[in-house]
Chains A and B, each alone.
Chain A
């Protein structure tokens, strides 16, 4: 009987997961979408010259889609397609940064709370209860308004809203793992607590979080765009997608493309992440494996 190292087993696992993913066409298209938008986000300013795209060109305003301007122009005369490409940076960045940060904070706080239990746990539960008592969009709205309208403030507001959910999930996972024999074994071996948490419990507890996080990226993008739409995002001239939709709403009947195309872009970006998340969940569901 050949024995494989833990590392080899892990890699086999990953390869198997990837194979499962590739069998599902929907998920693959999700990955393609995500890759596409990330590419746009990183290389956007190289594809489209920001200065030219943002230039004021009033005689060209409100032109419908044509060969020159596949998505039409907005009320300042800017080409909408270029703006959408440039805008990818904002929405993707905000979604990924927000989820990553909240994930980090949530994991750390949730693990500590779940592992040590007692007063710390009770306190953490109460605190997260408070934050979870607010409907998400509304709390983000209040924080963003109070801090002032800007891109970074929007990110902060969303992080404040999102972290508590992750903390709770992580806590639940850690509590479930905590009772397992390998933890007791580690304790007997006098492995320090933090090591137990981060090297042993964490890898087991983290899978459900990843699924939730991936799907949440889409949700964060939608929430950010929504807040930007009502006026809490970056300045009204930045090509952020929610902002573009907001400008487009004024001209809805005359020039519906200004609202339509940025919005549908948000849809596809969010859809991409959601497909990936869905796929991940199916893949990581132990009952569907093997």
Chain B
């Protein structure tokens, strides 16, 4: 079948999964939690409670309540956020570009560092360099995100500054005074991109300096994973017969590696990049809190502190949908790239 047919088929297969996701979040938000809690304080006289229950539809059977829940989701009425003092969806959407910016930057760093390290490690298998890289990778997957973030923050924002070295800002996304002096119109919402497009290099530089530490923190989580995957995949590929064949033909080693082995070794990377994205979303929650980066993750943590379940569950649904669609996109692109996939 054609690619678009494959894409459509995959998308349709997603629908039951997405429905299942909403069922799960519905269960969490309405059944496990008492939905009355958001609307009733102890000042409410007991006679009013049946009326409120009726308004919320709590007297109806579960499937009807679920239908209401689904309808609310689809019509973008995701409830009121206690911590943001505005509708949940509005709050999340406002912060959405910041998280995207952070995740994408981290992803790029991960790939830019992880893949070359993995290749190097595989090529120099069992040498000192290989061992060092393996240890770095192993450390990478053992590091707690918050510890790394805090340590980087301490070192590069505080210690550098108090010892007279040029330092990086410890929090935030951009300096508001600078922004006021050189305003940037919100085109994509991605600060760095918007300011570059408008030629506003001062703000762009400032935004980059703010995003360095959080994105390195986030990136470190997955550098280890990618390095290891690339390494083992590369080793696997190098063992194959066709590589030996190519070498036997007299092709120089470099060409063999980079033209033939590399492309095939990259296949698992494509596969796990979708998974990594989920890890990035999760890690962003912690990273944004540490660096006070105004993204969705920071809002969610504030919601946890204030027990604002509306926000938390809305974020869960949103993150889930994003994750699912990113994976879908990755699968489709991957199917397009790799001719061996029969679709």
Contacts and interface: CB of A to CB of B under 8 A. Distances in A.
A225 interface: yes
Given A231-B305, A263-B147, A263-B151, A146 B285 contact: no
Contact of A141 (B141, B154, B158, B312): B312
A129 B14 CA distance: 9
Given A129-B17, A266-B144, A274-B141, A260 B151 contact: yes
A245 B37 CA distance: 32
A275 interface: yes
Interface residues of A, number: 48
Contact of A138 (B18, B32, B285, B305): B285
A230 B150 contact: no
Interface string B92-129: 00000000000000000000000000000000000000
Tell me whether chain B's interface is mostly helix, strand or loop, or mixed: helix
B309 A145 contact: yes
Contact of A230 (B139, B281, B289): B289
A147 B146 CA distance: 24
A162 B147 CA distance: 23
A268 to B, nearest CB: 8
Contact of B32 (A146, A231, A253): A146
Interface residues of B, number: 50
Given A135-B320, A138-B316, A139-B316, A129 B20 contact: yes
A59 to B, nearest CB: 26
Which of B142, B312, B313, B316 counts the most A-chain CB atoms under 10 A from its CB? B142
B28 A230 contact: no
Contacts of B305: 231
A106 interface: no
B28 A143 contact: yes
Interface string B196-238: 0000000000000000000000000000000000000000000
Contacts of B23: 130
A126 B39 CA distance: 35
Nearest to A231: B304
A168 to B, nearest CB: 13
A266 to B, nearest CB: 5
Given A129-B17, A263-B147, A267-B143, A252 B153 contact: yes
A135 B138 contact: no
Interface string A186-230: 000000000000000000000000000000001100100110011
A65 interface: no
A229 B287 CA distance: 11
A278 B282 contact: no
Contact of B282 (A135, A229, A271): A135
B316 to A, nearest CB: 4
B281 A135 contact: yes
B24 interface: yes
B294 interface: no
Given A146-B28, A146-B29, A278-B138, A135 B319 contact: yes
A36 interface: no
A257 B128 CA distance: 33
Interface string A122-165: 00001101110111111101110111000000000000000000
Q: Which 8 A-B pairs have the closest CB atoms?
A: A263-B147, A137-B282, A130-B20, A135-B278, A270-B142, A271-B142, A142-B316, A229-B146
Interface of B: 16-18, 20-21, 23-25, 28-29, 32-33, 135, 138-139, 141-147, 150-151, 153-154, 158, 278-279, 281-283, 285-286, 289-290, 300-301, 304-305, 307, 309, 312-313, 315-316, 319-320, 323-324
Interface of A: 26, 126-127, 129-131, 133-139, 141-143, 145-147, 218-219, 222, 225-226, 229-232, 242, 245-246, 248-249, 252-253, 256, 259-260, 263-264, 266-268, 270-271, 274-275, 278
26 contacts: A126-B17, A126-B20, A130-B17, A130-B23, A131-B24, A133-B320, A135-B281, A135-B319, A137-B282, A137-B283, A138-B319, A138-B320, A141-B282, A145-B309, A145-B312, A146-B309, A218-B142, A222-B145, A231-B305, A232-B304, A248-B150, A249-B146, A253-B158, A263-B146, A263-B151, A264-B147
